[in-house]
């Protein structure tokens, strides 16, 4: 394959242009402040890189590798707990509960203690468990992140003392009852009611209409004994109004008898039935008919009701209490973003190992070649592999920020994690969902076999785009936050932590693109992380400034809501661009921090492919504003194709660094040895 540095016969005009550019550089060298300069790492020249896979794997997997190995070893030692390809809904649910019980009671892994104190360790467990069976990962998340997390994060000491041990050891399996039939994303629109009865010192939980039936509630259909129910708190006022609506609060509601496991009086439970995926999770629907619970069952961290019906809160408004409540539940989004990357790792590993194994066609009278040697296959899979690495470092950073937030409760960090988790969850899960189909197609007919897992992975992961916040809604939250920061900047305010780069790049945007740098096409320049990051950030700044102008214009005739809807696609593009900028920045930091030279060189190569592939995918934006001249656009495309070829040369080492054993990937076509023989044995040969 031709190197991008190979020079075809160039015409005199282009040669003259190159000489002028070199002269310009001598006359006006580019000045960079030392601490702002993002250093480049050599990629090892034209020779194939030598990658120390154990060192790269150690850098990737971090300090919680041991507990992940404990999860993998437990399931490898208990084949009866591994999920078969063909299994009914009811059997899958029971197996999933047995898997979780075994993990907790036999393997001794107690996730709840890590939810608050060591979130990074909890997410590492969640990643490993989800690699075994995504249904198990979600069921564990419902029990510990949602049901357990709501008690720990929204309740107070009395709730922790009463429920912690039972949740931790699975004596108290529970649910998280937020979503209703008619309301999902709009949590403030929930209709379930909790009315305080001052005479009996109880709350009365009611489902006022069919639209308020709690829907898609994990653990509800079969196993749950408790539920954290989100309902509108209504207090008596003893005037003409009768009651005051204090907004949405969370309540602990027992739903089944602890001994008989039958639904308690006033509680109606139904099964949501067979789903597209995740059928090991027993999603159910709940209706409440005047269900009475003690006043102490209000999770009262942000608002409490006294014996005489008086409401107290450290937060002055309904909106602030609501924001604080949802802010404490952001861990679910963090977990989904992180888990989605683990799904992408599994899929990429299967597709790439098979593509290295599978041979098809070749030069006349020559052996057949690996299908990963075809440029079209590299185009499908190598940028995806680069993205997997990029997402890994971005979501690892998110987990670290979340862990720090739980320790410090720093307000600035809380806001940063809230917006970053929304953006990464939306961006990563959408990308993974598309990539699962690409991986299936890249493996041809064998990718269609259920035993090779793409169909199961695709179906199980699909809902990641919807729960814990619909992706389109989450991207709007990111865009709204960017606009808020943008507006604040012009009032003398400061940008939040992750948004800091906008301070300088907005100033760059407001000036014209440099006509000299717009034509630079040398490989050293294109692989300079400063150029890559500047390009990403310029695009985000341009989108931010232009959508702000459009919103201001349309709001005059359409109002704020109408203007937002008119500019909605623009806003979504802005949010995605911002998240891509954050991902690249974290990837560059990870490359620079890598202590092993061979691993660093491999990561630099992968990072360059990620950056240039993204720039090329949106090259029209850069061309429209002359940020990139035609010759530079061509050079970017040529170099990104060459980098795909270079990454292909170390693709085996890169997927091996994910360190996923065969008993975890469980796809015959991805076995490290004897793939075809295991595949034929599966069908009976």
Q: Which of 202, 468, 641, 653 is catalytic?
A: 468
Active site residue 576: no
**CB neighbours of residue 677 within 10 Å:** 12
In angstroms, rounded to a whole number, what is the distance separating the alpha carbons of residues 521 and 519?
A: 6
**CB neighbours of residue 77 within 10 Å:** 11
DSSP 298: B
Find residue 197's DSSP bridge partners.
Answer: 202
Asked if residues 599 and 51 have their Cβ atoms less than 8 Å apart, the reply is: yes
Burial 505-535 (b: 16+ CB within 10 A, else e): bbeebeeebeeebbbbbebeebbbbbbbbbb
DSSP class per residue in 211-275:
GGSEEEETTTTTT-SEEEEEEEEEEE-SSSS-EEEEEEEEEEEE-B-TTT-PBPTTEEEEE----
Give the contacts of 228 (CB within 8 A, at least 6 positions apart).
146, 147, 150, 151, 154, 174, 175, 176, 177, 178, 250, 251, 252, 253, 299
DSSP 64: G
Check whether 317 is labelled as a binding-site residue. no
Give, in order, the Cα–Cα distances in Å from 327 to each of 163, 319, 432, 483: 22, 12, 25, 20
CA dihedral over 575, 580, 582, 583, signed as positive or negative: positive
Check whether 573 is labelled as a binding-site residue. no
Distance, CA of 3 to chain centre: 36
Burial of 36 (0-12, 13-18, 19+ CB in 10 A): exposed
- Apex 610 CA angle, 605 and 614, nearest 5: 145
Indicate the helix (H) or strand (E) that contains 193. strand 193-197
In angstroms, rounded to a whole number, what is the distance separating the alpha carbons of residues 383 and 442?
A: 13
Burial 643-661 (b: 16+ CB within 10 A, else e): bbbbbbebbbbbbbbbbbe
Q: Where are the alpha helices (DSSP H) in 141-218?
A: 149-154, 157-168
Give the contacts of 463 (CB within 8 A, at least 6 positions apart).
275, 276, 277, 278
In angstroms, rounded to a whole number, what is the distance separating the alpha carbons of residues 294 and 416?
A: 37
Asked if residues 192 and 206 have their Cβ atoms less than 8 Å apart, the reply is: yes
In angstroms, rounded to a whole number, what is the distance separating the alpha carbons of residues 211 and 218?
A: 18
Catalytic positions, written as ranges: 468
Extract the annotated binding site for FAD: 179, 218
Extract the annotated binding site: 179, 218
């Amino acid at each position: 394959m031709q190197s991008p540095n190979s020079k075809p016969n160039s015409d005199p005009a282009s040669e003259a242009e190159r000489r002028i550019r070199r002269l310009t550089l001598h006359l006006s060298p580019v000045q960079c402040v030392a601490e702002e300069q993002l250093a480049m790492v050599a990629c090892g020249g034209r020779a194939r890189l030598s990658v120390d896979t154990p060192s790269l794997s150690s850098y990737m997997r971090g300090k919680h590798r041991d507990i992940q190995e404990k999860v993998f070893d437990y399931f490898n030692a208990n084949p009866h707990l591994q999920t078969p390809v063909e299994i009914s809904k009811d059997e899958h649910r029971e197996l999933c509960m047995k898997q979780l019980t075994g993990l907790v009671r036999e393997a001794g892994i107690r996730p709840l203690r890590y939810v608050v104190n060591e979130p990074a360790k909890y997410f590492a467990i969640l990643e490993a468990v989800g690699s075994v069976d995504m249904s198990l990962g979600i069921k564990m998340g419902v029990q510990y992140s949602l049901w357990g997390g709501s008690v720990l994060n929204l309740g107070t000491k009395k709730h922790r003392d009463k429920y912690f041990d039972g949740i931790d050891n699975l004596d108290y399996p529970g649910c998280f009852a937020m979503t209703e039939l008619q309301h999902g994303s709009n949590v403030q629109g929930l209709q379930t009611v909790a009315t305080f009865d001052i005479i009996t010192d109880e709350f009365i939980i009611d489902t006022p209409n069919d639209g308020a039936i709690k829907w898609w509630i994990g653990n509800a259909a079969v196993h749950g004994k408790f539920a954290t129910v989100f309902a509108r708190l209504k207090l008596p006022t003893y005037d003409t109004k009768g009651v005051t609506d204090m907004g949405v609060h969370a309540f602990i509601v027992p739903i089944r008898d602890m001994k008989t496991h039958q639904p308690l009086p006033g509680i109606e439970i139904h099964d949501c039935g067979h789903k597209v995926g995740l059928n090991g999770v027993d999603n159910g629907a709940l209706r409440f008919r005047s269900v009475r619970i003690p006043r102490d069952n209000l999770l009262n961290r942000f608002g409490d009701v006294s014996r005489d019906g008086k409401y107290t809160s450290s937060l002055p408004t309904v909106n602030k209490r609501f924001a604080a409540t949802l802010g404490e539940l952001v861990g679910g989004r963090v977990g989904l973003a992180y888990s989605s990357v683990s799904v992408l790792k599994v899929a990429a590993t299967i597709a790439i190992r098979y593509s290295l194994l599978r041979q098809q066609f070749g030069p006349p009278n020559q052996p057949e070649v690996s299908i990963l040697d075809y440029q079209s296959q590299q185009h499908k899979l190598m940028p995806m592999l680069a993205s997997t690495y990029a997402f890994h470092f971005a979501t690892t950073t998110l987990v670290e920020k979340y862990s720090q937030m739980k320790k410090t409760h720093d307000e600035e960090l809380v806001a940063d994690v809230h917006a970053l988790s929304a953006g990464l969850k939306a961006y990563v899960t959408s990308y993974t969902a598309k990539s699962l189909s690409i991986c299936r197609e890249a493996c041809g007919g064998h990718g269609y076999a259920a035993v090779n897992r793409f169909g199961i992975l695709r179906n199980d992961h699909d809902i990641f785009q919807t729960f814990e916040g619909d992706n389109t809604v989450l991207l709007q939250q990111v865009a709204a936050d960017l606009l808020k920061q943008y507006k604040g900047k012009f009032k003398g305010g400061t940008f939040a932590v992750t948004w800091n780069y906008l301070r300088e790049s907005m100033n760059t945007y407001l000036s014209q693109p440099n006509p000299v740098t717009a034509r630079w096409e040398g490989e050293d320049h294109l692989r300079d992380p400063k150029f890559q990051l500047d390009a990403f950030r310029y695009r985000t700044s341009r989108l931010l400034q232009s959508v702000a102008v459009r919103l201001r214009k349309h709001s005059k005739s359409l109002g704020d809501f109408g203007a937002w809807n008119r500019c909605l696609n623009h806003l979504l593009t802005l949010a995605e661009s911002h998240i891509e900028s954050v991902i690249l920045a974290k990837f560059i930091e990870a490359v620079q921090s890598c202590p092993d030279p061979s691993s660093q060189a491999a990561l630099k190569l992968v990072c360059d492919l990620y950056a240039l592939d993204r720039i090329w995918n949106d090259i029209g934006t850069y061309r429209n504003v002359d940020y990139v001249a035609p010759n530079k656009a061509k050079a970017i495309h040529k170099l990104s194709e060459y980098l795909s070829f270079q990454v292909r040369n170390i693709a085996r080492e890169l997927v091996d660094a994910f360190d996923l054993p065969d008993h975890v990937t469980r796809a015959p076509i991805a076995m490290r040895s004897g793939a075809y023989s295991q595949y034929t044995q599966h069908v009976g040969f």
